[in-house]
C-alpha cells in the first residue's frame, strides 16, 4: 500500500514538474479573449473518455477575433481521437447546434509542449462581444489499468489523469468540473481545494479568476469493468460490382486492452458465477450493419463460427457475434466478417454525371476503438479518376487489384486513419467516372477466349494436314 502511495506521489510530482515548465514560459500575450464561464464534464463511464466543455468567451480586445484556441497538455495530445465544436442557437426546446470547424493549430509563442486546436467562429467575435461554444473531445487509451494484472475473480481498476483546472491560453473567470465514474467504487481521488464527491460524481471547483495555463494535476483511481474492446487493426474492403451488389469484407485484430488476465482461466467458474467472475471480460460483440444486409458470414482462422445472430428491420441490422472464447485482459481474437448489400442503397449518380459510393466510415462494432483503420474501396474495372470526400483528415492512396477475369485490374481507393472512435461512423463518398462499355468487358473476354480457342483448333488442324501432304 505504501509503495502504491509513493508511486502516486511520484506520478503527481512528474506531471507537476512538467507543467511548471510549461507555465514558466510565456503566456499568450496577443490573446485578447477571456473565458467568463467554463463548465467541463468528463465522462469516464466507458473506455473512451468523453469531455464536454461549455465555454462563454468574451472579446476584451479592440479588434474582432475569428478563432478560439483550446490547449492540451502533451500527455493528452496523442490520445485525442476527435474534437468537435458547435454554437448553440435558440432556446430550451428549440435549441439546435451550428457546427464549427476545428483544426489543429500551431502557436509559436505558446509554452513548450502544449498543443492547440483552433475553433473557427462563423462570424468574427466583435470587440466587447461574447459567444458560447460547446466542445466535445474524446480520448482513447487514457485509462491506465492498475493493478496491471488481475485474476478472474477481481474487478478492474484504472487511473485517469487530468487537471482540476482547465488548461487554457485564456484567463478563466469562473469554472467548474464534474467527473462521472462508472460506479460508486472509487479507490482514491486527488483532493485539492474545493473537491467534492457524491455518488458517481466528483466535483472540482468552482474556481475563480485563474490565470492562463493554470494547472493542478489530479489522479482518480476507480473501478471500470466496461469492455476495453480495441481493434488494433481493421481492414474493410468494399467492392463495387455494377452487376448489383456491394460486397464487404472486414478483417479484425481485436484485443482486450484492460488489465492483463493472470492465473488460469476456469470456464466452470466463469459460467456458474457470471456476476463476479471475469466481470471485465467480454464474450459478445455487437456489429451495427446497414439494413437489407445479406449473405452474412463470420469466420476465423479455424473456419466458420456459427454463434452469430442477425436481427434486421427496415432501419438497421444488428449482428451479434461470439468469439470462440471470452476475451480477458491482453487476450486477442482475429476474425473476418463478410456481407453483401444492395448496390442501389449506396451507389448514386451525381449531378455532373459521375458515379459515387456513399458509405459509412469507421467500425461497425459498438463502443470500440480502432487503432488503425484501412478502408479499401474496390471500383469496377474501367473506372477512371476516383476522388474521395471524407469529413475529417485521412491518408489516401490508390492501388490496383486483379481478380478473376479482370483485364486491366481494378482501381482501389485506400483510406487510412489512426485512432478511430464510434463518432467517426459518418458517411464518406468516393466519386469516379465509369464508361458502361466496360460492363461488357467480362462477357466479351469469355467470348473471345472461346473464339481464339476455336481459331487455334482450326489452325492446328490445318497445319497438321498441311504437313502430311
Q: Of 96, 106, 198, 303, which one interacts with ligand NAG (CB under 6 A)? A: 303
| 112 three-class SS | coil
Closest by CA position to 308, among listed 320, 299, 317 = 320
Cα–Cα distance measured from residue 239 to residue 430, given in angstroms and rounded to the nearest whole number: 12
Alpha carbon separation from 343 to 168, 363, 390, 417 (Å, rounded): 48, 20, 20, 25
The H-or-E segment that residue 446 falls in is helix 441-468
With binding defined as CB under 6 A, does residue 245 bind ligand NAG? no
Query: CB of 299: closest distance to ligand NAG in angstroms?
Result: 6
- Least Å distance between CB 273 and ligand NAG? 34
Q: How far is the CB of 51 from ligand NAG (least distance, A)?
A: 27
Q: Which residues in 325-354 contact ligand NAG (CB under 6 A)?
A: 348
Non-local CB neighbours of 306 within 8 Å, separated by 6+ positions:
none
Among 60, 312, 374, 429, binds ligand NAG (CB under 6 A): 429
Based on CB atoms, which residue is closest to ligand NAG, 130 or 429? Answer: 429
d(CA 300, CA 305): 7
Among 216, 247, 334, 358, binds ligand NAG (CB under 6 A): 358
H/E stretch holding 178 reads strand 171-180
Grid coordinates given for 148: 496491471
Contact range with ligand NAG by CB under 6 A, out of 67-75, 189-197, 296-304, 312-320: 296-304
Which is nearer to ligand NAG, 348 or 460 (by Cβ)? Answer: 348
Least spacing, CB of residue 367 vs ligand NAG, in Å: 21
Name the segment binding ligand NAG (CB under 6 A); options: 30-38, 255-263, 271-279, 297-305.
Answer: 297-305
From the number of C-beta atoms within 10 Å of its C-beta (0-12, 13-18, 19+), residue 465 rates as exposed
Examine residue 297 and tell whether it contacts ligand NAG (CB under 6 A).
yes
Which of 271, 427, 452, 457 is in the footprint of ligand NAG by CB under 6 A? 427
Asked whether position 247 contacts ligand NAG by CB under 6 A, the answer is: no
User: What is the grid cell recorded at 117?
Assistant: 486546436
Cα–Cα nearest to 239, from 384, 427, 379? 379
Contact residues for ligand NAG, defined by CB under 6 A: 297, 303-304, 348, 358, 427, 429
Amino acid at each position: 500500500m505504501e509503495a502504491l502511495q509513493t508511486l502516486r506521489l511520484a506520478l503527481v510530482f512528474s506531471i507537476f514538474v512538467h507543467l511548471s515548465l510549461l507555465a514558466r514560459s510565456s503566456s499568450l500575450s496577443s490573446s485578447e479573449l477571456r473565458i467568463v464561464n467554463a463548465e467541463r464534464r468528463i465522462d469516464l463511464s466507458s473506455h473512451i473518455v468523453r469531455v464536454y466543455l461549455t465555454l462563454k468567451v468574451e472579446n476584451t480586445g479592440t479588434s474582432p477575433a475569428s478563432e478560439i484556441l483550446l490547449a492540451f497538455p502533451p500527455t493528452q495530445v496523442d490520445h485525442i481521437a476527435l474534437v468537435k465544436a458547435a454554437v448553440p442557437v435558440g432556446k430550451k426546446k428549440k435549441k439546435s447546434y451550428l457546427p464549427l470547424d476545428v483544426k489543429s493549430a500551431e502557436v509559436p509563442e505558446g509554452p513548450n509542449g502544449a498543443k492547440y486546436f483552433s475553433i473557427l467562429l462563423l462570424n468574427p467575435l466583435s470587440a466587447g462581444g461574447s459567444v458560447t461554444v460547446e466542445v466535445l473531445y474524446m480520448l482513447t487509451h487514457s485509462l491506465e489499468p492498475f493493478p496491471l494484472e488481475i485474476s478472474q475473480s477481481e474487478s478492474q481498476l484504472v487511473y485517469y489523469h487530468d487537471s482540476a483546472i482547465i488548461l487554457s491560453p485564456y484567463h478563466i473567470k469562473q469554472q467548474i468540473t464534474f467527473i462521472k465514474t462508472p460506479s460508486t467504487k472509487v479507490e482514491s481521488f486527488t483532493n485539492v481545494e474545493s473537491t467534492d464527491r457524491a455518488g458517481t460524481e466528483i466535483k472540482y471547483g468552482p474556481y475563480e479568476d485563474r490565470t492562463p495555463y493554470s494547472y493542478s494535476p489530479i489522479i482518480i483511481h476507480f473501478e471500470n469493468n466496461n469492455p476495453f474492446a480495441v481493434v488494433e487493426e481493421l481492414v474493410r474492403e468494399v467492392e463495387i460490382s455494377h452487376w448489383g451488389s456491394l460486397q464487404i469484407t472486414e478483417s479484425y485484430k481485436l484485443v482486450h486492452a484492460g488489465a492483463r488476465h493472470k492465473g488460469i482461466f476456469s470456464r466452470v467458474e466463469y459460467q456458474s458465477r457470471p456476476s463476479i467472475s471475469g466481470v471485465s471480460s467480454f464474450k459478445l460483440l455487437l456489429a451495427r450493419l446497414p439494413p437489407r444486409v445479406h449473405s452474412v458470414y463470420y469466420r476465423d482462422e479455424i473456419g466458420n463460427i456459427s454463434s452469430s445472430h442477425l436481427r434486421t428491420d427496415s432501419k438497421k441490422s444488428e449482428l451479434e457475434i461470439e468469439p470462440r472464447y471470452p476475451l480477458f485482459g491482453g487476450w486477442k481474437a482475429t476474425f473476418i466478417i463478410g456481407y453483401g448489400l444492395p448496390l442501389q442503397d449506396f451507389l448514386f449518380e451525381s449531378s455532373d454525371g459521375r458515379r459515387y459510393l456513399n458509405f459509412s466510415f469507421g467500425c461497425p462494432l459498438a463502443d470500440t476503438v480502432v487503432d488503425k483503420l484501412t478502408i479499401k474501396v474496390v471500383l469496377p474495372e474501367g473506372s477512371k479518376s476516383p476522388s474521395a470526400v471524407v469529413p475529417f483528415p485521412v491518408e489516401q492512396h490508390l492501388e490496383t487489384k486483379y481478380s478473376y477475369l479482370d483485364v486491366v485490374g481494378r482501381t482501389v481507393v485506400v483510406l487510412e486513419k489512426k485512432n478511430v472512435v464510434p463518432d467517426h461512423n459518418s458517411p464518406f463518398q468516393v466519386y469516379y467516372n465509369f464508361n458502361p462499355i466496360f460492363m461488357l468487358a467480362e462477357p466479351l473476354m469469355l467470348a473471345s477466349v472461346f473464339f481464339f480457342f476455336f481459331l487455334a483448333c482450326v489452325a492446328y488442324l490445318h497445319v497438321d494436314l498441311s504437313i502430311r501432304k
